[in-house]
A and B are shown apart, each in its own frame.
Chain A
Amino acid sequence: MTIPRYKHFFKRLDKFSVCAIKADPNWIGVERDVECLGAYHYVVHGRAKVGVPFKEEYFEVKSKDFFSMQHLFPTVMMDIQDDFYMIGFSALHGKEKWDGRLVTEPTVLVQKESHLICFDGNPIVNGKQLERFDYADLSPDRTYEINLNGGALGLFTEVSV
């Protein structure tokens, strides 16, 4: 019998954190928000069922999906279907609220300071080619020309409470 393996990755930056998990098929795990305040997630590859322990409702995520688990807090369960790799954007503190989405437009103009994170591929932003886990701060006074180049970029803005 092979026991499914699981690895957790984490990097704390000045204004947010980035986490990631890699898990084998059939791995099942439960996390509490105190351990991983993942607000938004991007699936690089694989499939998983996501839900709340002991509740019937769940949703499925698959490669290239961008989604939030915040509505499931405080406890989230994942049932991994395929070889799974997911990257998450996390608040530094539970009280912080962030808006997050994947960039789809060729030009980005933000209303307040925001952050770009490259989740996959080699997007080109203002002529600079990025790779996975590259990140950048975006200023509201500038326009950013985006060529996704088959990759995936997350855009995150802290929401004033």
Chain B
Amino acid sequence: MKAIFKISHYYPETNQITIRFCRLHAPKNIDEYRPISLDLGEELDLYDIETFTQSIMRKAGEKWIERHEDSEELLFENIPETPKGKFNMEDLVGKVISCETYKRYREGIKMRKVEL
């Protein structure tokens, strides 16, 4: 899943930002999602843009995107069911079944290019 964020305000005096997160393919304009305030000094890696985006997604983005998803309207046709008992492919055909997606994290490396 790809995500996006948009920083609407930066407060240098308090080192804080106001930011919104949502999925890249979210059903609404990112500006319609709830803004949150974040302290840049806490657990955010400001080394470069890549480390910043990774750390901000981990610190706040993933949590807020999950919350958005949970609060978004669920289409009646997408309401899942939980089949039980022996596996039988015939029983699964045509049913909507919920499942967890797998997350595999890779952290960035702070590389520095040196001119020799």
Interfacial residues, chain A to chain B (CB-CB below 8 A): 7-11, 13, 18-20, 116, 125-126, 128, 130-131, 133-138, 142, 144
Picked from A10, A128, A137, A142, the residue with its CB within 8 Å of the CB of B109 is A10
8 Å CB interface, B95-116 against A: 105-116
Residues of B within 8 A of A (CB): 50, 105-116
- Contact in complex: A10, B116 (CB < 8 Å): no
- Contact residue among B107, B111, B116 (Cβ-Cβ distance under 8 Å from A8): B107
Can you sample 30 A-B contacts with CB below 8 Å? A8-B105, A8-B107, A9-B106, A9-B107, A9-B108, A9-B109, A10-B108, A11-B50, A11-B108, A13-B111, A18-B109, A18-B111, A19-B109, A125-B114, A126-B116, A131-B112, A133-B110, A133-B111, A133-B112, A134-B112, A134-B113, A134-B114, A135-B111, A135-B112, A135-B113, A135-B114, A136-B113, A136-B114, A136-B115, A142-B116
B112's nearest neighbour on chain A, judged by CB, is A134
Residues from chain B with a CB closer than 8 A to the CB of A9 are: 106-109
Distance (whole angstroms) from the CB of B21 to the closest CB of chain A: 23
The answer to whether A130 touches B114 (Cβ under 8 A) is: yes
Contacts of B116 in A (CB 8 A): 116, 125-126, 128, 136, 138, 142, 144
Q: How far is the CA of A137 from the CA of B110 in the complex (A)?
A: 17
